[in-house]
Amino acid sequence: MNSRNSRIRSNWTNYLYPLPALLMVLIFLITPVVFVFYTSFTDWDLLHPMEFVGLKNYVKIFSDVNLLISTRNTLIWVVLILAIPMVLGLLLAVFINNVWFSNKIKSIFYIPLAMSGAGIGIIWRWIFSRSGLLNSFLVSAGIFSEPKSWLLNVPDNTLAMVIATTWQVTGLNMVLFLMGLQNIPGEVLEASKIDGASEWQTFTRIILPLLKPITTIVIILNIIGSFKVFDIIWVMTAGGPARSSETLAVSMYKEAFGLFRMGYGSAIAVVLSLIIFAIGIGYLKIVAREE
């Protein structure tokens, strides 16, 4: 009997261990998600009581010209982030994997990831500002006769911010690809050499296919990251000038905290989350089918 009681007590206490984590998830993740979803059906402005407006905010999303520009900019971000930091991360990983001092230098590329997006935005805003590092160099080298306002011109401003983001996330991509590369069995590579495969053939026909699982994760992380990007844009251009560099995440913040249209901002957040969710599921289905 005693042993039974002690077993029950033991089982019961086992359930207590994950409780703090579950409570944290409930309070800080589930509750806000439910609250944002609920708010998206209201016209809340922080001052007046919430009033239910049905699907009005969702209908407005599809007729808002500014959101059209934000959507276009977000898609440009997705393409550029997949094209630049991801490819750069892969190339760096391949390079580092083949040098004896890889352990010493890989952390250098990882350092920017440890910095906050706002901090990175401040650094790169200064670099691209009219009196910043880039203009000083270009003018003193005689390439430009006078400084250029990089952050004021379309599409220079978006490219400048993509460069800043590339500096931040390339290290993560590199580390992930490096993990994948180090898990490729040495015998496979050796066999390809014996069979007379060139470096390029080994890379395209053996390494890349074997890296597919890790590539999947990197692609998903980069797509989600581009949809979420906010801090660097906010610090470098605040979406301007004339909302030209605004992405959906910036529009969501501006509507909610600039114009205090909490309901509309929440509706944008919900739609964005659904897009991200759909992309994730779609991509997983494709991968599953191929496997």
Partner 1 sequence: MKKVITWLITITFALSFLFIGLGCAQEAEPVQETEVEAVEQPAEEAAEEPAEEPATEPEEEVAEDYSDLGPLKLFTDKPGWQNGWDAVFAGFKEKTGIDVEMTGYTEIDTYTAAVKTGISTQQGPDVFTWWSNYKLEDLAKEGLLADMESLYEPVRDKYNEGILESFSYDGTVYGAPVLVASWIMLYNTNVFEEQGLSEPTNWDEFIDVCETLKSNGVTPIALTISGGWTSFFWFQQILASNYPEAYKAVCAGEQSYESEEVEQTFLIWKDMIEKGYFTDPGVDLGEEIPPMFAKGEVAMTYCGDWFTAYFDQIELTGGEDYSMFVIPPKVENVPKTVIFEAGPLCISANASNMEAAELFVQYWLSDEGQQIWSETMNYISPNADVPADHLDSVKTKIADDVFADPEAQLIVRYWEATLETITLPACAALDKFVLNPDSYQDVMAELEKLSSEAWEEFRS
The set of residues, in sequence order, having a beta carbon less than 8 Å from that of 202 and lying 6+ positions away, is: 189, 192, 193
Q: Is 217 in the site for partner 1 (CB under 8 A)?
A: yes
Q: Is 240 in the site for partner 1 (CB under 8 A)?
A: yes
∠ CA(24), CA(25), CA(30), 5° rounding?
130
Nearer to partner 1, 75 or 152 (CB): 152
d(CA 164, CA 180): 26
d(CA 124, CA 161): 8
Residues 74-103 that bind partner 1 (CB under 8 A): none
Among 151, 178, 232, 233, contact with partner 1 (rule: CB under 8 A): 151
Binding mask 43-62 for partner 1 (x = CB under 8 A): ---xxx--------------
Among 227, 232, 233, 263, contact with partner 1 (rule: CB under 8 A): 227
Among 85, 121, 239, 263, contact with partner 1 (rule: CB under 8 A): 239
Q: Is residue 105 within 8 Å of 283, Cβ to Cβ? A: no
Q: Is 155 in the site for partner 1 (CB under 8 A)?
A: no
Q: Is 183 in the site for partner 1 (CB under 8 A)?
A: no
Residues 16-35 that bind partner 1 (CB under 8 A): 28-29, 32-33, 35
Q: Is 149 in the site for partner 1 (CB under 8 A)?
A: yes
Q: Which of 242, 265, 264 is nearest to 252 (CA)?
A: 265
d(CA 215, CA 98): 19
Q: Which of 76, 35, 66, 119 is nearest to 259 (CA)?
A: 66
Nearer to partner 1, 77 or 253 (CB): 253
Residue ranges binding partner 1 (CB under 8 A):
28-29, 32-33, 35-37, 46-48, 129-131, 147, 149, 151-152, 213, 216-217, 220-221, 224, 227-228, 230, 238-243, 249, 252-254, 256-260, 262, 265-266, 269-270, 272-273, 276-277, 280-281, 284, 287-288
